[in-house]
Structures are given as C-alpha cells and as structure tokens.
C-alpha cells in the first residue's frame, strides 16, 4: 500500500514520516528526486526519505477507521490521538471497538440516559461506545437465538476489567432479572454500583445476579491479580463470565469460568513485580490475634515474597484491601470459619516457602537431605500448625518419596533440588485448589440456570506481552493471544466477506491472513515447542541449555523460529505482533507440576475441614494403591506439564468461543505513567499491533480498504467528470462514477457495488493526486485573472489620489505662509514681555541670595564665639581636674612611704621579740615535752572511749539490720518508713557524736590552757599537775560514758516520736512535693507570660508609632502642611486621645498589621509551649538517668543536659526556673540512693562532667562578675576549687596567660563558643559544685562505715602468729628464724577491707569517674585508715608488738 501511495507523492503534499520516538511525525514534501523525497517536518527540520516509506496524511476525524481514505498505521494512530484529545475514547474499526483508557472518571458516558440512547440502535448508528457492542450482542441473541461472546483484551492497565463491568451493567439494564415485572427491574438493582451490601440486612439471594458477579471482583482480584512491570493490578488469569438468560430474555443466572492461572508466580517472582495481592494483605491487614494464631511475620521475611523488593503499592493500603476482601467473602456466602480456613491455607503457603534443605553429606546427595537449620525447622512447625497436619509427617512428605512395588513400598530420600521442587509443588497445588474452591463458592453464590439456552459471555484475559526478558509466563500468555488472534482474524475476514457479498462484488482472489503456522510451531506434536518441553521435563537431569539445543536442532528450518546471536539459551518467535525473544533458563522448572500422593493424603487428613474437602477427590496423576499390582514399580509422584494443561484449557476456551458469535473490544493504554491527557504514540502503536487492530487493517488492505458510498464519491471527485451535466441527472450516478474511474486511467481493479465504490490500496491516493492537480490548475487560472483585474483598479485609484493630493498641497502651502507671518509679529511681542519677566526674576533671585549669605555669615561668627567660650570653660575644668589628680597622687605616694617605713620599723621590733621568744621556748622545752606526753595519754583515752562508743553503735546497727531483714516482706510504705527511721537514727547518732566530740574538744582546750598556765609557774609542780590531769581524764571518761547513756535514752525517745510522726511526715512530704512542682510550673508559666506580655506591649507600641508615622506622612502628602504646634506626642490639636491599636483597625493596612501581631503572638505562644515540652523531656531524662549510661566513656546525661541548655541559650537568660528544676530532680535521685555506691558514682561522674563543661564554656561578663561578687559566688573553698588545677590541666588553653590570670577562665571546648553567662547560670554552677561535694561526701562516709568495724581488729595478728613471736622473744631473734617462720599471714579483716576497696574501685571504673578524683578519694581513705590504726594502737598498747607491726605492715602493703 505504501508503494502505491508513493507513486502519487508530489511537492506540497502532506505525508507521514517514521520517527523512532514519536512513531510517525507529519511533514510537507519539499522536493522529489527520483525515489528520494525531501520532507520538511513540523519541528522545522528537513529529512530525506525514500518514497516507499511515506504515507499520505488525511486530516479527518473518523468514528469508524475503515472509512479512512488512507488506511495505514499512521492514519489509524493519528485518528485515535485526535479523538483521545477530545475525550472521545471509543473508536470503531469495522465492528471492532477500540477503547482508550482515559485514566479519569467520565460519568456522563455511563449513566442510564446513555444506556437508553443505545437501546435498540444498530452498530454505527450512534457514536462508538461499549454500550453499542453490548446492544449488538444482546440484539443478536434475542433475534437470532444464538449465544454471544464479547472478548475484551488488552495489556495490563488498559481498562479491561472496567470495560467488562460496563458491559455487565448494560446487559443488566436491558435484561433485568428473571421474575421481575419488566426490564426496568434491573435498573434499580444497578442504580448505584458502588454501594456495599451488608449480609446482615440483605441476604445473598436477594441481590441481582450481575451485582453478585461485580461483588465477587474484589475477591478474585485479591487471589488472582498481582503487580507486574506495567500494571499494579494485573489479572494473572483469564475470566469468562457467562450471563445466562431465560426464554423471556431476562437474566436468570451466571457462571464464572477461570482459565490459565499463573501458578508459577506463587513460588517464583522477579523484582519489581509482586506475588498475588492476598499474601501482602494478610501480612499487613490481619489483626494481632490472627497474626498470633497464624504465626505471621512481615512480608519481607517470607521467602516467596522476599524475592522481590516491592512489598507495597503507591496509593494502596493493604489493611483496607484486606478488609474489602473479607467483606467480599462474606457477600459471596463464605462463612467466618471458612474464611479462617482460607487464610490458614494462605499462611501455610508462606511458611512452606521458608523451609529450606541441605544435603546430609556435603560431598554426595545420595543420602537425601534434611532441614537446613533451626529457622527452617520453625518454619516447618509453623506450616504444620497452620495447616493442622503432623509436623513429622509433613517433613517426611517433603524430604522422601514412596514407591510402590510388588515386593512392597520403597522409601527414597530426596536430594535438595527434589525436596525444593516437592515443596514448591505442594505450595502451587494448595493455592490452585484454593483458587478453584473460591470460584466454586462464588458460582454457588451467584446461582446458575440449568434451563437457560442462551448466554452472553464476557471474556477478560491478559493481553500480548513482550519485555526485555521474557520467560515461560510470557510464552503461555502469548500462545493464548495467538489463539485469540486467529479467532479474531477469522471473524474479521468473515465480516469483510459478508460486506463484499452484500455489495455483490468479486472477492475470490483475496488472500486470508492466518497465523496457523505459529500455532503449529508451538502446539503440534511431536515437534512442537510444548511437546519438546514436556519431553525434556520427563528427564530430571535435563538442563535448560540442553533444552535450547534440542529446540535449535528440531526447529531451525521453521520460518517463524529464530536463534538470537547474543544468547545460546534463548529463542525467538515471530508472533503476529512482532518478534519476541524467550529465555529458557527457567522453562523446565516452571513447566513442572508434580502431584504427590503423600501430599494429597496428608492434606486430606488435615484437621482443617476445608482442606479435607478440597483434597478429598482423587487428583489426576495420583496413582491409587490398587493399581500397583503390576510388576512395574510406580512412583507416588507423577509429573504433570503446566504447558500441556495450559494448552488444554486454552482449547476448551476456544471451543466455547466457537459456539458463540464473537464481538471484540480492544482496550488500549495511552501512556505508561497512568495519567490523563497523555498519548504516547510509540506505546499505543505497539498495543495496536499486539491487539490485532493493525492485523485487521492488513486484512482490510488485502481487499478493498477504501470504500465510499456513491454519493460521497461524487461529492469529492465529481469535478473529474468530463460531462458535468450528468452529475445532476437522477439515475446517472453509477455511470458517472464508472466514467470517472475509467477516464483517470486507474488500473481496472476497482469495483462498484450496489451502494458503494470499492478501491484497492493506493487508488484513493491516486484519485486525490489527480483531484489535487486539477484543483491546483483551476486555482492558478482564477488567481491570474483576479490579480490582473485587481491591478487595474489599483492604478485608477492611485491616479485620482495623486491629483487630489496636488490640489490640497498648494492650498496648504499658502495657508502656511500666512500663518508664518502672523507668528513672526507675535513672537516679537512675546520676546519683549519675556525679557522683562526674566530680568525681574534675576533681580529677585540676586536679592534673596545676598540676604541668605549675610544671614549665614552672621550665624557662623556667632557659632565661632560660642565654640571659643566652650573651649575656654573645658580647659578650666581639665586644669582643675589635673591639679586635683596631681595633689592626690602626691598624697598617696607620701602615705605609701609612711606605711612602708612603719612596716619596716615594726618588722624590726617583731624580729627582736621573736628572738626573745625563741630563747624562752628553748628554756621551756622540758615543760613542753611533759605537756606533749600528757596530751598523748589524753588522746589515747579519748580514742578508747571512741572505740567503745563505735562498738555499741555496731551492735545497734546489727540489731537494726536483723529487724530490717524481718520487715522486708512488708509493703512499700513500710519500707519507706523504715528508711526514714534509719535516717533519723543516723542523724541522732551523728548529733551524739558531734556533741561528744565538742565536749571533748572543749575539755582538751581547757586542759591545754591550764597546763600552759601551770608551766609558767614552776617545774616542781608539774608532777602534781600530771596526776590531776590523769584524774581529770578518768573523770572525763566517766562523764562521756554517762553522756553516751543519756544520748541512747534520747535516741529511744526520738524513735518513739519518729514512729508517731512517720505517717504524717510522709503525707506532708508528698503534698509538699506536689505543691512545689505546681508552684514551679505556675511560676515558670507566669514568668513566660510576663515576658510575652512585655514583648507584645513593646511590639504594639512600635506598631502604633509606625502606623502613626505612616498616616502622618500620607496626611502630609494629601493636606496642606501644618505648623509645629498643632500636634505634640501623638495627640491631635483638638485634644483627642493618642492613637492605640484598637483605633487603627479601620483601614486594610491596619487589619493587616493586627493580623501580623496576632500571628506573631501565636507563633511565640507555640514556641513557648514547645520550650515547655522540651524542658519536660529533659527533666524526664534526668529522672531516668540510670537507664541512659555512657557512650565511649562519656556520660550521656551530662552531654545531653549541657547541649540542651546551650541550645536553649539558658545560660544567657536573666531569669529561668529550669536550673532549679534540674537540681531538684538530681537531688531527689541522689537522696533516694545515698547508700547505693553504684548510683552515687554514676551521679558523681555525670555531675562532675557537667561541671567541667560549664567551667570551660561559661565566661564572666561585666554584669555577671559584679552580681557574683555581690552574692559571694565562688568565695567558698570546696571540691571544685581543690580540683580547679586539674580542670585547667585537662583543658586545652586557647587564651593568653595574661587573659587567664585576669579572668580566671579556662579554655573553651573545641567547636563550642564560650558564653557570656548571667547570674542564674553562675548560681547553677555553684549549686552543682556543692552537689558534687555532697555526693563525694556520701561516698566517703559509706566507705568509712564499711571499713571502720574491721579496722579495730586489724592491729592484732592471729593467735598462731603471736605465739611464734612470743617464742622468739625468749631467745635470739635472727633473720634466719624469721625467714623460717614465713612471716605473718593476711587475716580476714584485712581481706574484707581490701574487698570493699576493690569493689568500690570497680564501681568507679564502671561509671567512668575521672582518675584524679579516684586518686584523691583513695588518698583520703588511706589517710583515714592510717589515723584509725594509729589511734587504735595508742589506745591498746598491749598490741604494740613486733608481730602485730609485721601484720599491720603486711595489711597496708
């Protein structure tokens, strides 16, 4: 056809040019050189193309593309695109309907009014519509009494399912329901096809048949649809819906038949495709109870689903889809128990996919296989639990195979590959039978009419597929489309044949386009592809490479079969829609379908009733036990070919279709992005080829593609007739048409029928070219005559115009001369007046300038005099200040010299006094020695009394510990009471100790003073004094014991009081804490509100002033200027009140200002609320600090707190309650765990780290330093001052030494700028320092409590050691005897002390306490141990022996 058109191509003709992107683009012929044509494209470029590659353009919108003058690919494509742009989505190609998916709702096309329009109308009478196809089918059934079928095809996403729904809607509208009064009964049933039906209010039987069919769609889509590369909801099975009618042509029943379910997708899916929707709906949408009972996990953890990375779909909620599926199951009559059973099977398939196998022996697989690990074992248990079968039996069925022989049964272990195939076979069998069971349930719910004789079938099946990588699934799908295309070709050819016979023309020589050779290549035995594939699957050892080689050898001479050059295992088939290359890598695995007797038997005995039903009937391929009587052994697993089963189902479908009269709807997807108003030419052209539309065009082109009624032919080509008068004579139309065709010299292949003129391919183009040339020649002649007449008229007009212009020009020149003379006289007078005015103005201007210069000069002189006077006064003031300062400096230097002289003189006198005192001290040396001896004895007595008191305290603590253990089983309130009681007791003990120590100190001071006075008297009385002091020491000891007894009595009284006040104290503390928290929160809110109020007032004041200024400026521009005394400070001259924000609301600008203020207020209020929430989050973190821990040795709590305070700029605030709340929270945590060293060390590390960060970050500003000096911050000497040098040593100095000495600050933290802190920050720092000292004191006191009871026993060696020492005292103590004895051994008390110290050191290390803190702590503990040991030895002189000394030395070492 293209070659015939090419013969008629000339310059100026519009043509279609092939384009790799847009398929075809339009252009205009510029030149023709031989067989090369130069074409100018619409984009502005020019290309050279061969004539036979061009197609003529027809700018017409045809509802039936058969009526196109030029029936070719670009013409069909252009016609569809034009109609799609006008939202005309339906187009005919003969009696074939092409439906382009609009990807948007067009409700006006599908309402009942539209259905009524097409009722009773013939095809083509109205615009193309899917209702017209449905009406044609319905009319044919009612008139011819034959069954009809409507075949809806297209690729995924083309709208096949929606088209099938609209067909069923129309049939329901036309047919109504059996038993209804009229056809309109069906209208009410489908008045709202989107409404849902409740099974509790409307029974299944009360709904119409077509509604039941539509309601089953969600269920079938969930179990039969999946995501593919091109569509997110692609049907992976064929569906043939038979809508049955009774004798009155009313809908009486329906049945759904499913074909060609893609079983291989269950166990094998490629990314980014997905498995069937129901798997993902179950994993995401099941309730927690169902997930627990079915042991479900996320979809990504199931092997069958994890093969693809896609688990969710855009715009699809799996939970909602799961609910819709459950609702659809209820609608079709599936009860709750059966629903649970269905999802049990689905969950069981998922669990089976997680079962994997490994060989028992790594080197060989003859010994069979076992489960690969614990995960596979758990998956097998889950599958057995869900399917309600025995776990061991299921494992045996998967890993072994039983063969029945005459001698008996033989159990054969399976290798990993065979076991995996067995598992996949079981999963596919389960899903396939479940799907068939669901279809059976749906059909039972819909109801069939066994008496129905006619039906209208709607076939919804997947379209032709061709991807970059095509496998077994595409092979089967394309086989089905080849079958349907053959059926389609036969129908189209039959339609063409009927057209020719109706017009009584000769058509015997027209060839029929057939694809039987492709079908024979695939199906024919024994050399077809399916037969060769089944033969290869019979042998387990066959590989895909061997299968491909076998195909190459058997089919290499076939014209439709080819071998690609880039692959050794692929083959190419020339389908009707184009060449498709298939990869054979997985052909063998996907074609195998094993039906295993053990599987059927196992599932038939399942505890799930539904499984027992669907596996009760014997399956084809399963060998019964009674059939094993022959001597040949038979396996319990028989191979079944999926390809062969697919072919059988396809043949059944074709037989069903051959019994009906077909009607075709081809659905087209306009673009791959699923968006409206986007038409991709290449994509649509590919679908037209795959859908067979262009095949129908080729069939039409094989006959007479151009056909026109005689009237239309004469309207278009009547000007080619020689005798034009015959055009208007009735009855001469056919003769005129025949004469035109004969005289134009066309080849005698055209024919004229009864009503139409039939032209062969290219003849219409030839007629158009002749008509174009005839019209062009006539147009040139007409243009020549018209242009000559036009030029003559133009010349006459120009001549008349020239004469008129000359006449008017002379008059104009005369008038101009008179005007010039008048103007000259007027100019002279005007110049005289102007010069006078200019002179007057120059004089006035000179006068004003002189006056201004005089005023400026006089003002300058006055200002100079004032400036001189000011300078003289300033000089006098400076001289007075300078003289005053010189006098003061002289006075200060004189005073300093006097003080220096006085200090030197007094120092000289003091040195003399010192020399005298030194001489006197030497004389009193003996007295001082005696005094020291007495003081030592007094100290020994005090230590002995202290040890006795501590022994009593230890006994008291022991009794309290026993009481505590006995009361451990009481409630939490009693535990808190006991803690409060112990705290009170410890406080009383401390008060008693402090009182005793104070009394002892007072007495010591009195004794020392009396000894000093007596030493000055005389040396002889010293002995008497000593005796008196010893007596006084005994008396002091007696008094201390009495005081201890009194304190014990007071302690008992306090315990009684504590027991009475415990309950009240707890209640008051609880109420107090709640009140404090509320007060703090309220105070913080009040503070924030006050600040906010102040800011808002300031903003309002500024806005008022700004608006007043703007209004004043606008008023100045509109009104005359006012005097300065008319307005003052915002008050008007009339005494009105000043402007306020409320008074500014009259204009739109004021309203905009108010809205801005309100928006700013709301934004700040939201920021305040956000700040409160962040503060509460930080406080909760501090409250649960023990759960945070450390990161790389750094305390997380300290870092988070510091970063949060720094981020919120809390250090720079003048007022904030956040620091107090943080300190209260930390204090509460520490006070609750004062006896827990682990908690104390954790808080010590965090608080010390926070203190260290504050020390390095905060710097003192002027205001901060003054406020700190006012309040005395930093004046005390605590642990922070003692470790200040350590902090400076750790930090990296970034300031000069002079700056450090001046400011006392340490270097900052890298990456963090130092902050000018305010008073609350420094107060927080001081509180934190005191808190660190407090925690440090708690730790030190706890350790002293633990080791003090043991120190008293550490000064006396064990008995055996002392005996050895005593024996050595009787003889000579030599180094040899000491070495032989071996020295003293370490006792239990020393070991206990070491254990306590080791435990504390480990606690320090676990909580990352700084090293120098640990060293300082242990230095103090060791000093305490030394002092306690020394005091104990002074009090117990009998222990001052060599053996005890060696024992103590060993313990200290």
Evaluate if residue 890 carries a pLDDT over 70: yes
Lowest-confidence region among 278-287, 693-702, 1377-1386, 1405-1414: 1377-1386
C-alpha distances (whole Å) from 77 to each of 545, 698, 740, 1244, 1408 are 41, 14, 31, 82, 78
Q: Tell me the pLDDT band of 1382, cut-offs 50, 70 and 90.
A: very low
Using DSSP's 3-state secondary structure scheme, residue 663 falls into strand
Half-sphere exposure of 1431 (CA within 13 A, CB side): 19
Evaluate if residue 1375 carries a pLDDT over 50: no
Q: Tell me the pLDDT band of 252, cut-offs 50, 70 and 90.
A: confident
- Residue 685: predicted pLDDT: 84
What's the whole-number mean pLDDT along residues 136-143? 89
Using DSSP's 3-state secondary structure scheme, residue 1371 falls into coil
- Residue 1306: predicted pLDDT: 43
Evaluate if residue 469 carries a pLDDT over 90: no
**Proportion of the chain above pLDDT 90, given as a percent:** 16
C-alpha angle 306-308-313 in degrees, rounded to nearest 5: 105
For 722, residues 6+ apart whose C-beta sits below 8 A from its C-beta are 739, 743
- Residue 131: predicted pLDDT: 93
Task: Point out the catalytic residue in the list 153, 235, 531, 1040.
Answer: 235
Task: Point out the catalytic residue in the list 75, 94, 154, 157.
Answer: 157
What's the whole-number mean pLDDT along residues 311-329? 90
Segment holding 175, helix H or strand E? helix 160-175
Active site residue 859: no
- Residue 197: predicted pLDDT: 33
Task: Point out the catalytic residue in the list 463, 703, 762, 1387.
Answer: 463
Helix axes 1148-1183, 1196-1207, angle to 10 degrees: 160
Segment holding 728, helix H or strand E? none
Active site residue 463: yes
Q: Which DSSP symbol is given to 750?
A: -
Render 967-991 in DSSP notation, one character per residue.
TTTS-HHHHHHHHHHHHHHHHHHHH
Active site residue 578: no
Active site residue 893: no
Among 791, 441, 378, which residue's Cα sits nearest to residue 613?
A: 441
- Positive or negative CA dihedral for 776, 781, 785, 788? positive
Task: Point out the catalytic residue in the list 155, 465, 473, 503.
Answer: 465
Higher pLDDT, 206 or 1085: 1085
Active site residue 867: no
Task: Point out the catalytic residue in the list 156, 422, 1241, 1257.
Answer: 156
Task: Point out the catalytic residue in the list 149, 231, 356, 445.
Answer: 231
Q: In the chain, how many H helices and how many E strands?
A: 46, 31
- Residue 345: predicted pLDDT: 93
C-alpha distances (whole Å) from 1341 to each of 976, 986, 1230 are 22, 12, 14
Active site residue 156: yes
- Residue 917: predicted pLDDT: 82
pLDDT digits (tens, 9 = 90+) for 16-66: 898 888 888 889 888 888 888 888 888 778 888 888 888 888 877 788 887
pLDDT digits (tens, 9 = 90+) for 1086-1102: 666 666 666 666 666 66
Q: Tell me the pLDDT band of 1453, cut-offs 50, 70 and 90.
A: low
Evaluate if residue 1043 carries a pLDDT over 80: no
Q: For all residues of the chain together, what is the average pLDDT?
A: 77
Active site residue 471: no
Evaluate if residue 1267 carries a pLDDT over 60: no
- Residue 761: predicted pLDDT: 62
Task: Point out the catalytic residue in the list 69, 228, 234, 258.
Answer: 234
End-to-end CA distance of the chain: 114
Evaluate if residue 728 carries a pLDDT over 50: yes
Gap between the Cα atoms of 1184 and 986, Å rounded:
28
What's the whole-number mean pLDDT along residues 264-286? 89
For 410, left (φ over 0), alpha (ψ -120 to 50), or beta?
beta
Active site residue 157: yes
Lowest-confidence region among 235-249, 564-578, 904-918, 1267-1281: 1267-1281
Gap between the Cα atoms of 269 and 272, Å rounded:
9
Helix axes 1319-1351, 1411-1435, angle to 10 degrees: 40
- Residue 510: predicted pLDDT: 57
Which range has the top average pLDDT, 150-164, 340-354, 1357-1371? 340-354
Gap between the Cα atoms of 643 and 627, Å rounded:
27
Evaluate if residue 1160 carries a pLDDT over 60: yes
Peptide bond into 526 cis (omega under 30): yes
Task: Give phi and psi for 384, each to the nearest 5.
Answer: -65, -40
Distant-in-sequence contacts of 1408-1415, Cβ < 8 A, 24+ apart: 1408/1190, 1408/1193, 1408/1194, 1408/1195, 1408/1245, 1409/1241, 1409/1244, 1409/1245, 1409/1248, 1410/1245, 1410/1248, 1410/1286, 1412/1283, 1412/1286, 1413/1244, 1413/1248, 1413/1283, 1413/1336
- Residue 1106: predicted pLDDT: 61
For 260, left (φ over 0), alpha (ψ -120 to 50), or beta?
left
Q: Tell me the pLDDT band of 4, cut-offs 50, 70 and 90.
A: very low
- Residue 179: predicted pLDDT: 47
**Proportion of the chain above pLDDT 70, given as a percent:** 75
C-alpha angle 247-248-249 in degrees, rounded to nearest 5: 90
pLDDT digits (tens, 9 = 90+) for 1213-1257: 888 888 888 888 888 888 888 888 888 888 888 888 888 888 888
What pTM value is reported for the model? 0.51
What's the whole-number mean pLDDT along residues 273-294? 91
pLDDT digits (tens, 9 = 90+) for 676-688: 888 988 888 888 8
Task: Give phi and psi for 171, each to the nearest 5.
Answer: -60, -40
């Amino acid at each position: 056809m293209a070659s015939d058109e090419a013969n008629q191509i000339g310059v100026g003709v519009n043509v279609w040019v092939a384009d790799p992107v847009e398929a075809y683009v339009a252009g205009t012929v510029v030149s023709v050189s031989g067989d090369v044509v130069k074409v100018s494209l619409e984009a502005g470029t020019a290309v050279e193309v061969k004539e036979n590659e061009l197609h003529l353009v027809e700018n017409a919108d045809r509802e039936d593309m058969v009526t196109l003058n030029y029936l070719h690919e670009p013409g069909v494509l252009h016609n569809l695109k034009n109609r799609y742009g006008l939202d005309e989505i339906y187009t005919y190609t003969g009696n074939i309907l092409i439906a382009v998916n609009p990807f948007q709702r067009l409700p006006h096309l599908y309402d009942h009014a539209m259905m009524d329009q097409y009722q009773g109308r013939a095809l083509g009478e109205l615009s193309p519509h899917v209702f017209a196809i449905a009406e044609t089918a319905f009319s044919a059934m009612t008139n011819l009494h034959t069954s009809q079928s409507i075949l809806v095809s297209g690729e995924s996403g083309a709208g096949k399912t929606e088209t099938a729904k609209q067909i069923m809607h129309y049939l329901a509208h036309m047919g109504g329901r059996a038993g209804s009064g009229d056809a309109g009964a069906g209208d009410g049933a489908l008045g709202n096809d989107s409404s849902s039906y409740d099974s509790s209010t409307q029974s299944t039987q009360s709904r119409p048949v077509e509604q039941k069919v539509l309601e089953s769609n969600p269920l079938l889509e969930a179990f039969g649809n999946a995501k593919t590369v091109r569509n997110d909801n692609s049907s992976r099975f064929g569906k043939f819906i038979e809508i049955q009618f009774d004798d009155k042509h009313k809908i009486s029943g329906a049945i759904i038949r499913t074909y060609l379910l893609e079983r291989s997708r269950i166990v094998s899916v490629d990314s980014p495709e997905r498995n069937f929707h129901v798997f993902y709906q179950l994993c995401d949408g099941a309730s927690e109870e169902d997930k627990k009972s079915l042991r479900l996990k996320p979809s990504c953890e199931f092997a069958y689903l994890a093969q693809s990375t896609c688990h969710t779909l855009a715009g699809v909620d799996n939970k909602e889809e799961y609910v819709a599926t459950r609702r659809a199951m209820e609608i079709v009559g599936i009860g709750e128990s059966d629903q649970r059973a269905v999802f049990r099977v689905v969950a069981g398939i998922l669990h089976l996919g997680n079962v994997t196998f490994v060989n028992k022996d790594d080197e060989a697989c003859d010994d069979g296989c076992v489960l690969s690990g614990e995960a596979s074992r758990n998956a097998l248990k889950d599958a057995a639990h869900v399917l309600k079968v025995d776990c061991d039996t299921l494992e045996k069925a998967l890993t072994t195979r039983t063969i029945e022989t005459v001698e008996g049964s033989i159990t054969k272990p399976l290798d990993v590959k065979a076991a995996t195939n067995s598992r996949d076979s079981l999963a596919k069998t389960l899903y396939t039978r479940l799907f068939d069971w669901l279809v059976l349930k749906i059909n039972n719910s819909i109801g069939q009419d066994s008496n129905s004789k006619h039906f209208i079938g709607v076939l919804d099946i997947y379209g032709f597929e061709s991807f970059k990588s095509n496998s077994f699934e595409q092979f089967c799908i394309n086989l089905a489309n080849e079958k349907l295309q053959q059926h389609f070709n036969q129908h189209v050819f039959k339609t063409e044949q009927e057209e020719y016979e109706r017009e009584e023309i000769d058509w015997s020589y027209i060839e029929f386009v057939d694809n039987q050779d492709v079908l024979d290549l695939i199906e024919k035995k024994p050399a077809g592809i399916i037969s060769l594939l089944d033969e290869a699957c019979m042998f387990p050892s066959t590989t895909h490479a061997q299968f491909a080689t076998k195909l190459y050898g058997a089919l290499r001479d076939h014209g439709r079969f080819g071998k690609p050059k880039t692959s050794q295992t692929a083959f190419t088939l020339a389908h009707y829609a184009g060449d498709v290359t298939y990869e054979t890598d997985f052909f063998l695995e996907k074609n195998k379908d094993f039906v295993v007797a053990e599987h059927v038997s196992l599932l038939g005995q399942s505890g799930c009733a539904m499984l027992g039903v669907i596996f009760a009937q014997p399956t084809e391929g399963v060998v019964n036990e009674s059939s094993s009587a022959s001597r040949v052994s038979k396996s319990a697993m028989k191979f079944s070919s999926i390809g062969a089963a697919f072919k059988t189902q396809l043949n059944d479908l074709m037989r069903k279709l051959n019994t009906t009269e077909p009607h075709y709807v081809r659905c087209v997807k306009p673009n791959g992005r699923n968006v409206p108003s986007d038409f991709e030419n290449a994509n649509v052209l590919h679908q037209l080829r795959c859908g067979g539309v262009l095949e129908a065009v080729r069939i039409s082109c094989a006959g007479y593609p151009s056909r026109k009624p005689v009237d239309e032919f004469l309207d278009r080509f009547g000007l080619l007739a020689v005798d034009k008068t015959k055009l208007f004579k009735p009855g001469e139309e056919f003769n005129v048409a025949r004469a035109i065709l004969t005289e134009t010299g066309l080849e005698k292949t055209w024919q004229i029928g009864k009503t139409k003129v039939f032209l062969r391919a290219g003849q219409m183009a030839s007629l158009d070219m002749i008509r174009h040339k005839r019209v062009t020649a006539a147009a040139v002649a007409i243009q020549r005559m018209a242009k000559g007449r036009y030029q003559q008229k133009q010349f006459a007009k120009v001549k008349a115009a020239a004469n008129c212009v000359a006449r008017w020009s002379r008059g104009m020149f005369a008038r101009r001369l008179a005007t010039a003379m008048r103007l000259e006289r007027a100019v002279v007078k005007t110049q005289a007046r102007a010069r006078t005015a200019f002179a007057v103005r120059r004089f006035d201007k000179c006068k004003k300038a002189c006056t201004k210069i005089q005023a400026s000069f006089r003002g300058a002189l006055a200002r100079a005099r004032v400036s001189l006077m000011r300078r003289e006064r300033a000089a006098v003031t400076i001289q007075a200040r300078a003289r005053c300062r010189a006098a003061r400096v002289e006075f200060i230097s004189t005073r300093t010299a006097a003080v220096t002289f006085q200090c030197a003189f007094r120092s000289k006198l003091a040195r003399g006094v010192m020399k005298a005192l030194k001489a006197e001290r030497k004389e009193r040396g003996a007295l001082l020695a005696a005094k020291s001896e007495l003081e030592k004895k007094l100290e020994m007595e005090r230590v002995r009394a202290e040890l006795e008191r501590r022994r009593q305290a230890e006994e008291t603590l022991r009794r309290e510990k026993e009481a505590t253990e006995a009361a451990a089983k009481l409630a939490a309130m009693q535990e808190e009471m006991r803690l409060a009681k112990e705290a009170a007791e410890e406080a009383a003990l401390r008060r008693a100790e402090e009182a005793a120590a104070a009394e002892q100190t007072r007495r010591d001071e009195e004794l020392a003073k009396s000894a000093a006075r007596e030493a000055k008297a005389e040396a002889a009385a010293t002995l008497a004094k000593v005796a008196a002091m010893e007596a006084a020491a005994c008396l002091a000891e007696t008094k201390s014991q009495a005081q201890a007894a009194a304190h014990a009595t007071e302690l008992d009284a306090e315990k009684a009081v504590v027991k009475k006040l415990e309950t009240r104290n707890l209640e008051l503390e609880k109420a107090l804490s709640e009140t404090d928290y509320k007060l703090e929160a309220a105070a913080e809110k009040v503070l924030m509100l006050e600040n906010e109020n102040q800011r808002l007032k300031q903003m309002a004041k500024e806005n008022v002033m700004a608006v007043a200024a703007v209004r004043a400026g606008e008023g100045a521009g509109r009104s005359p200027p006012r005097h300065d005394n008319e307005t003052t400070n915002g008050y008007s001259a009339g005494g009105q009140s000043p402007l306020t924000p409320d008074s500014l609301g009259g204009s739109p600008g004021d309203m905009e200002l108010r809205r801005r203020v309100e928006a700013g207020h709301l934004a700040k209020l939201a920021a305040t609320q956000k700040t409160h929430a962040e503060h509460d989050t930080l406080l909760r973190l501090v409250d649960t600090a023990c759960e945070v821990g450390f990161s790389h040795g750094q305390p997380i709590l300290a870092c988070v707190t510091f970063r949060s305070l720094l981020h919120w700029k809390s250090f720079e605030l003048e007022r904030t309650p956040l620091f107090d709340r943080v300190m209260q929270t930390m204090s509460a945590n520490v006070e609750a765990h004062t006896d827990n060293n682990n908690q104390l060390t954790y808080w010590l590390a965090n608080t010390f780290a926070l203190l260290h960060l504050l020390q390095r970050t905060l710097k003192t500003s002027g205001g901060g330093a003054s406020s700190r000096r006012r309040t005395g911050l930093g004046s005390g000497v605590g642990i922070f001052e003692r470790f200040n040098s350590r902090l400076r040593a750790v930090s990296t100095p970034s300031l000069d030494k002079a700056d450090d000495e001046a400011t006392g600050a340490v270097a900052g933290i890298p990456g963090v700028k130092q902050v000018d802190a305010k008073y609350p920050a420094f107060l927080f720092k001081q509180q934190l320092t005191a808190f660190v000292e407090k925690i440090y004191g708690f730790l030190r006191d706890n350790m002293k409590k633990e080791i003090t009871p043991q120190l008293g026993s550490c000064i006396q060696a064990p008995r055996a050691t002392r005996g050895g020492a005593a024996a050595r005292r009787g003889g000579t103590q030599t180094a040899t005897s000491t070495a032989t004895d071996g020295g003293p051994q370490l006792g239990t008390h020393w070991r206990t002390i070491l254990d306590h110290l080791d435990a504390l050191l480990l606690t320090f290390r676990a909580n990352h306490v700084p090293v120098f803190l640990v060293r300082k702590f242990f230095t103090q503990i060791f000093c305490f141990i030394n002092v306690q040991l020394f005091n104990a030895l002074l009090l117990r002189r009998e222990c001052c022996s060599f053996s005890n000394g060696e024992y103590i030395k060993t313990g200290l070492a």
